[in-house]
Amino acid sequence: MAANALSDRTTRQRETPSWLAYRAVYSVVLVLLAWEIASRTALINPFFMPAPSLLVVQAVKLTLQGELLPHMGATLLRALGAILLAIAIGVSLGIAMARIAAVRWFFDPLISLGLPTPKIALWPIFVLWFGFHDQSKIYLTTFACAFPLVSATYLATRDVDRYLLWSARALGTGERRMLWKVIFRAAVPDILTGIQTIIPFAFILIVLTEMLSGGIGLGSMIMLAGRLADIPTVLVGVIGASILGFAVIRLGEYLRARVLVWHEETTDHA
């Protein structure tokens, strides 16, 4: 579910000729065109699948009325907040689990029990504890995203090349310096992959909790429009959420390349 959709991103960058990328754009345009024609000729029900051009018109209208951007902003801020919180908690807990036996003993069964269970089921509890506003949405999303991140960080830190550690120790590296200069650096690529994996989950969960609670946010806008059978607005909201998620996924890929400037993964095809 990470950012590597149909092929591994690093190999794609290296191998895909640019004409293939253009072809991908063409085929997407083709799909949109087919949708437009099918909807206009009522081949598909235009009430449920309004033509893309109508959606663009609706998006512009909502933006001019000031009814789209505030929702998108609220969703974006909540998702970013939840992602940052999940990184802070997940990465530190994952490293602690890999380094400290007592922490590992306590959290290992909790993580392995919690990882495959649907955290969205806890929504009523989070509402009871934190109310209907920002907190419950952000905390539930943080909680759900922390599990895969703890697991990714733990595995990445645990599996750091032992020869690397031995060499550093032989060269007189202290334990604290070792954690920061050797272990963390060696684990960073896999930790970043873990972070990139939770980005789409975070957006889905924020939109979902907004749908369950009302107020401001794309999810609430979608739910309200749905009750009024205003399908163009629903679809504009869904596309808006997709664009936000896509933009943050791209941001993550960009930051990864910046953070890993020193890593072979980046320098290889520079």
- Does position 222 bind other proteins by CB under 8 A? yes
- Does position 125 bind other proteins by CB under 8 A? yes
- Does position 105 bind other proteins by CB under 8 A? yes
Cα torsion for 138, 195, 120, 226, to the nearest 10°?
Answer: 70
Q: Closest separation between CB of residue 181 and other proteins, Å?
A: 32
Annotate each residue in 226-245 with x if it binds other proteins (CB under 8 A) or - if it does not, as one string.
xx-x-x--xx-xxx-xxx-x
Per DSSP, 118 falls in state -
Q: Looking at beta carbons only, is 186 or 209 nearer to other proteins?
A: 209
- Does position 246 bind other proteins by CB under 8 A? yes
């993964």: which residue's tokens?
265
Closest residue by Cα to residue 83 from 188, 202, 189 = 202
Closest residue by Cα to residue 256 from 7, 13, 55 = 13
Q: Looking at beta carbons only, is 182 or 211 nearer to other proteins?
A: 211
Q: Closest separation between CB of residue 254 and other proteins, Å?
A: 16
Closest residue by Cα to residue 186 from 201, 173, 203 = 173
**Count, residues in the chain:** 270
Q: Closest separation between CB of residue 261 and other proteins, Å?
A: 27
Q: Closest separation between CB of residue 127 and other proteins, Å?
A: 7
- Does position 212 bind other proteins by CB under 8 A? yes
Element (H, E) at 185: helix 184-213
Record the tokens describing residue 163, joined without a space: 């020869």
Contact 207, 248 (CB under 8 A): no
- Does position 203 bind other proteins by CB under 8 A? yes
């979608």: which residue's tokens?
222
Residue 240: helix, strand or coil by DSSP? helix
Amino acid present at 221: M
Q: Closest separation between CB of residue 107 and other proteins, Å?
A: 7
Among positions 132-161, residues that touch other proteins (CB under 8 A) are: none
- Does position 21 bind other proteins by CB under 8 A? no
Cα distance between residue 115 and residue 147, in whole Å: 6
From the list 152-160, 177-185, 222-230, 255-263, the region that binds other proteins by CB under 8 A is: 222-230
Residues that bind other proteins (CB under 8 A): 1, 5-7, 24, 27-28, 30-31, 48, 105-110, 113-125, 127-129, 200, 203-204, 207-208, 211-212, 218-219, 222-223, 225-227, 229, 231, 234-235, 237-239, 241-243, 245-246, 249
